A and B are shown apart, each in its own frame.
Chain A
Amino acid sequence: MPEHTFRVNGEQVTVDVDGDVRLLWVLRDILGVTGPKYGCGINVCKACTSHINGKAVNPCAIPVADLQPTDEVTTIEGLPATVGKDLHPMQQAWLDHDVAQCGYCQPGQIMAAVALVRRAAAEGRAITDADLDGLRNICRCGTYFRIREAIKAGAENM
């Protein structure tokens, strides 16, 4: 079986699996990294949102063969280390606003929020209501309003 090498949360990993298996299952079923959640498998719900090289992606839609050895996959578990702290400012904002209900969507929400703030910062601007409206992540518990508040607060500290 083909081997695939890439980086996950700062460590190099090699997996032995068919190249078309999507990254989500490589993370969850083979590597035991369960922060990214399954909610649809078709890049719609965004529960699996993680980062590759700092940008938001949905691993349920990425064949593992697409990854290069230098590609850095960051899941919610690895987010704090990207800022060298125990918690990323966005996670702290989530705690401050007591956002999570069941929590199932929240790893994906936080990863999407961080990428959104980085995107806006790269464009030299602050988060707008339109940006927030554009987030596609489902939260079936309906925490949307607190998510909006937390993103605005988290952005201040990023």
Chain B
Amino acid sequence: MTGPNGGGLDEAIGRRRFLGYVVAAPTLVAAAELGLTPAPDVRLPSPELTELLDLNDMMTAAALPTSGLITVEVNRDGTVSFALPRAEVGQGITTSTAMLIAEEMTVPLERVRVTLADARPELVFNQLTGGSNTTIATYTPIRVAAAIARLRLLAAAATELGSAVTDLTMRAGVITDRSGGGIDIGALAEKAASMRTQQVSVELMPRENFTVIGRPHNRIDALDAVTGRKKFAMDLDIPGAKPTMVCRPPTVNGKVGSVANLAEVRAMPGVTDVVTISTGVAVRAETFGQCIDAVRALRVSWKPGTAEGKSDESVLRELEAAELPLGPRPPTPTVEGRFTFYFRSNSALEPNCAIADVRADRAEIWSALKSPIVAKQAIAAKVGLPLGKVTVHVTEGGGSFGRKLFFDAALEAAEVSQRIGKPVKLMWHRADDSRQGRTHPMSTSRVRVAYLGDTVLSYKQRHTSVSTDLGHGLGEIITAMAARLPVGDIGFSQTFFHLSQAMSYDFGGGSRLLNETGKGFNTGSMRNVYSPDVTCARELIIDQLATRMGKDPYRFRHDFLRDDRSRAVLAKVAEVGGWGRPMPAGTAQGIAFHAEYKAVSAALVEIDCRSETVNRPVRDGVTGPRVTRAVFAVDVGLAVNPRGLEAQMMGCIMDGIALALTSSLHLRDGYFLEASWDNYFYTRQWNTPPELQIIVMPSTSEKPGGAGELGVAASMAAVACAYGRATGTMPTSFPINHGTLSFTPKPTIPPIPPSPTDGLKHAR
């Protein structure tokens, strides 16, 4: 990426000086603009667009003309508060943000309180959590605000202690002068405050002085998480917000025709309200248990949905028809492959949920939202209130994986609350979340590589996908920016695709194109979006190509990767993982590489495909081949919190294993068969690699790259490659077990299963 590092600002005010503000307030409030990073340098079109500008530059740049201020506040009790305009859904950004503030202010991490900001429309493009962009976009502005706070505290302490600022040291939240006199920052919170808002320029802590950034830290919310004190949306006690569920259609997006027994269900125990809404029939009751019973009791006649009669096979035919041609086959030798990736679910463990209290003159919403501004706008429009009358609180999220970019539950909760005139605590049942929730669209990828001797002449890839819904604000950013990009008149999905897919290998000419088809499904960008599928196809073909050229798969990749940073992560996993070590028949290693979000990554896995492993008995589960070892190397430039980064890579590896081996949705007759975690086979303990090593490479940059999604692509690809090498057959359809239905589908009417009653019998 070529955006000049701090170009304009550097020239204007010197190295590492940035502008921020002290804001008029009773206690010290320092601020900076979120869009501090200078605009990227958009140059002429090039075949390798990602080298000029990647998705993250675009997201960062999109914020420039419109950004609002973010503020660091010093409190009288000596704590420091910051409301992060992003969503914490497990990725650890509250911790990394607290680390940035602790570093610049030299206060202990425990004194920093990071909360999640309510929706702030004035931030426009700057409150979207996606594209692994949080740390990239906020790294400098947060530090600037914290550094200004530090400056002000030092100045106030100088007055108090009668010392020169240069004679003061600040450590652990206490400022000390030469004579040993000390004062806590809490005691300075008012004295350092400003009566008027003024601009301040500040220097940031030089990298070599870092004592917090770059060192491993445990999560700041870990204690709350392990004691049950961490509050998710459904744990909030909002007065009058009673449990609410929706009876949903038997097919994707079906609509209510009529309800035969409304009065009867309204009279059921605990039920307070039953009302037809745009997505089904909503039930409000004293407990969710009574909601479940009421939903099951409703007799609804349904109208068709938006995927009526469709199945895996019919969608596959649509994709084939939409595939863009690879062009005439060149006269040189080629390697080709065609890969199918079935629908997958991005359900988090916390299902879609939201609390809504909609009154005649105002509305208040609580939900884990990665695009709260768009949610706020959509909810205001839906309930017919001015934007200023709608308050949207962002709660901590129980996972996202792309799901929380959308606000389906918040919109629905607002609709129900308005219809019945009461607050609601609305939650989707797991079966709803799986069957009607958003999916990673089914896709195919065709690859053709032409080569001659030791040279790769061209690499072409045609990725064809059911449309990915990006209409959650990321789409708006892309649309708004697309005109400024050298990609011509293409839609935002294509723009996104181009921006996220780097070609890291020296493979001559060629093109990688996306075509989308078939609306009608509830889709969304699942963790790492297009990259796992695109990378998996590419890396499998690279293994084939290496074989044809008589090269070792690792050496081949090493030879063709374009830069040192990329080669270094690949070499690292090969070394640590003992690439090429002899392994028994039916087991093998696989290796793969992926670059994105200004970061590079490589995975080496070992897989066991022997029948005694594949056929291990596990009740109601899919065992299958086991990844027995995973070694992963990652270079994100600057890793703010290496322990958090390791955690993200660990999760990405589990996702990659699931995508390659076990997890998919089966579409049949217009609905997805999966309605339970024992139907949708996300990685479980019995699939987890007993050996796992994650290597965070030494920092190669002054700036952090994105990490939340980075590891999925290389992991999935490495597992697929290992499977191909262990079985001697390149897999072409994912996950590999999709052809076998490993469960009995639950009925669709009623749409949710009853809760069992034999729980005590299973006490163990």
Q: Spell out A's residues near B (CB within 8 Å).
A: 17-18, 20-26, 28-30, 32, 34-45, 47, 52-53, 55-63, 66, 75-77, 80, 87, 91, 94-95, 98-107, 110, 115, 119, 129, 132-148
Give Cα A150–Cα B286 distance, bound, in whole angstroms.
Answer: 38
Residues 659 to 693 of chain B near chain A (Cβ within 8 Å): 676-678, 682-686, 688-690, 692
| Nearest opposing residue in chain B for A56, CB measure | B764
Question: Does B685 lie within 8 Å of A59, measured CB to CB?
Answer: no
The complex places the Cα of A63 from the Cα of B647 at a distance, in Å, of 37
A38, A59, A103, A119: the one within 8 Å of B90 (CB): A103
Q: What distance in Å separates the Cβ of A35 from its nearest Cβ neighbour in chain B? A: 3
Q: Is the CB of A77 within 8 A of B689?
A: no
Partner among A63, A77, A115, A147 whose Cβ is within 8 Å of the Cβ of B227: A77
B227 adjacent to A76 (CB under 8 Å) = yes
In the assembled complex, B267 has its CB within 8 A of some CB on chain A: no
- CB-CB under 8 A from A103, the residues of chain B are 90, 221-222, 224-226, 230, 396, 398
Q: Does A104 lie within 8 Å of B762, measured CB to CB? A: no
18 A-B pairs whose Cβ atoms sit less than 8 Å apart in the complex: A18-B269, A20-B289, A39-B349, A39-B350, A40-B430, A41-B429, A42-B754, A45-B430, A76-B228, A94-B226, A100-B221, A102-B89, A102-B396, A104-B232, A104-B349, A138-B349, A142-B650, A143-B650
**Quick one: given A24-B289, A44-B676, A136-B684, are A29 and B219 in contact (CB under 8 Å)?**
no
Could you tell me the distance in whole angstroms from the C-beta of A81 to the nearest C-beta in chain B?
Answer: 12
Report chain A residues within 8 Å CB of B289. Answer: 20-22, 24-25, 29
The distance in angstroms between the C-alpha atoms of A58 and B684, with both chains bound, is: 18
A17 to B232, CA, bound (A): 25
Cβ–Cβ contact A142 & B287, under 8 A: no
The answer to whether A144 touches B654, judged by C-beta atoms less than 8 angstroms apart, is yes
Q: Which residues of B have CB within 8 Å of A106?
A: 225-226
Collect the chain B residues with CB atoms within 8 Å of residue A87's CB: 226-227
Q: Distance in Å from the Cβ of B258 to the closest Cβ of chain A?
A: 27
**Whole-angstrom CA separation of A144 from B678 in the bound complex:** 17
Residues of B within 8 A of A52 (CB): 760, 763
- Nearest chain B CB to A31 CB, angstrom units: 11
Contact A42 B647 (CB under 8 A): no
Residues of A within 8 A of B286 (CB): 17, 29-30
Distance between Cα atoms of A52 and B647 in the complex (Å): 32
Contact status B228-A135, CB under 8 Å:
no
Complex contact B91–A101 (CB within 8 A): yes
Interface string of B134-152 (1 = CB under 8 A from A): 0000000000000000000
Q: Give chain A residues whose Cβ lies under 8 Å from the Cβ of B686.
A: 133-134
Q: Are B689 and A145 in contact (CB under 8 A)?
A: yes
Residues of chain A contacted by B287 (CB below 8 angstroms): 17, 21, 25-26, 29-30
Please, which residue of chain A has its CB at the minimum distance from the CB of B268? A18
- Nearest A residue to B427 by beta-carbon distance? A38
* Chain B: minimal CB distance from A36 (Å): 8
The verdict on B173 contacting chain A, using a C-beta distance below 8 Å, is no
Please name the 8 residue pairs, one residue from A and one from B, whose CB atoms are nearest each other, closest first. Answer: A35-B228, A142-B654, A102-B90, A104-B398, A103-B225, A61-B759, A142-B651, A62-B759
Q: Closest CB of chain B to A6's CB: distance in Å?
A: 12
Q: How far is the CB of A108 from chain B (nearest CB, A)?
A: 9
Add 6 more A-B contacts to A41-B288, A105-B398, A144-B685 (CB < 8 A).
A18-B290, A25-B289, A42-B430, A76-B228, A140-B348, A142-B655
Contact of B753 with A42 in the complex, beta carbons under 8 Å: yes
Q: Nearest-CB distance from B733 to chain A (Å)? A: 23
- What is the CB-to-nearest-CB distance from A47 to chain B, in angstroms, rounded to a whole number? 6
Kindly state the separation between the CA atoms of A133 and B685 in the bound complex, as whole angstroms: 5
Closest to A110 in B: B226
Contact of B676 among A42, A55, A58, A140 (CB under 8 A): A42
B760 lies within 8 A of A102 (CB): no
Contacts of A22 in B (CB 8 A): 289, 755, 759
Bound Cα distance A146, B655 (Å): 15
- Whether A144 lies near B759 (C-beta < 8 A) is no
Task: Determine if B223 is an interface residue (Cβ-Cβ < 8 Å).
Answer: yes
- Residue of B at shortest CB range from A94? B226
Is B219 within 8 A of A100, CB to CB? Answer: yes
Kindly provide the distance from the CB of B209 to the nearest chain A CB, expressed in whole angstroms: 25
Contacts of B89 in A (CB 8 A): 102
User: Which B residues are in CB contact (< 8 Å) with A58?
Assistant: 759, 762
Q: Choose among B222, B349, B351 the residue that contacts A105 (Cβ–Cβ < 8 A).
A: B349
**Least CB separation from B398: chain A residue:** A104
- Contact status B759-A60, CB under 8 Å: yes
Which chain B residue has the least Cβ–Cβ distance from A64? B289
Partner of A98, one of B219, B224, B620, B756: B219
By a CB distance below 8 angstroms, the chain B residues around A26 are 287
Task: Verify A42–B650 contact, CB threshold 8 A.
Answer: no
Cα(A133)–Cα(B225), bound, Å: 23
Q: How far, in angstroms, from A148 to B270 measured CA to CA in the complex?
A: 41
> What's the Cα separation between A38 and B293 when bound, in Å?
16
Say yes or no: is B735 at the interface (Cβ < 8 Å to chain A): no
Closest Cβ of chain B to A115, distance in Å, is 7
On whether the beta carbons of B349 and A102 are closer than 8 Å, the reply is yes
Whether A132 contacts B685 by the Cβ 8 Å rule is yes
Tell whether B92 is near chain A: CB-to-CB under 8 Å. Answer: yes
Q: List chain A residues, Cβ under 8 A from B655.
A: 142
A63 to B758, CA, bound (A): 8
Q: Which residues of A contact B269 (CB under 8 A)?
A: 18
CB <8 Å contact, A57 and B762: yes
Complex: chain B residue closest to A45, CB-CB:
B677
From A42, A98, A101, contact of B651 by CB (8 A): A101
Q: Determine whether B652 belongs to the interface, using a CB cutoff of 8 Å to chain A.
A: yes
A110 to B222 CA separation, bound complex (whole angstroms): 13
In-complex Cβ contact of A18 among B270, B396, B692 (8 A): B270
- Report how far A42 CA is from B753 CA in the complex, Å: 8
In the bound assembly, the distance between CA atoms of A31 and B223 in angstroms comes to 22
- Complex alpha-carbon distance, A148 and B746, angstroms: 32
Instruction: Tell whether A38 pairs with B221 under 8 Å between CB atoms, given A52-B763, A75-B228.
Output: no
Nearest-neighbor residue (CB-CB) of A71 within chain B: B760
| Chain B proximity of A125: nearest CB distance (Å) | 16
What B residues does A44 contact at CB under 8 A? 430, 620, 676-678
A143-B399 in contact (CB<8A): no
B599 interface hit (Cβ, 8 Å): no
B229 partner residues in chain A, CB cutoff 8 A? 35, 77
For residue A148, which residues in chain B have a CB less than 8 angstroms away from its CB? 685, 688, 690
- Say yes or no for B231: interface residue by CB 8 A criterion: yes
Q: When chains A and B are docked, how far (Å) is the Cα of A56 from the Cα of B759?
A: 10
- CB pair A101–B350 under 8 Å, yes or no, is no
Interface flags, B269-303, vs A, CB<8A=1, else 0: 11000000000000000111110110000000000
Contact B226 A144 (CB under 8 A): no
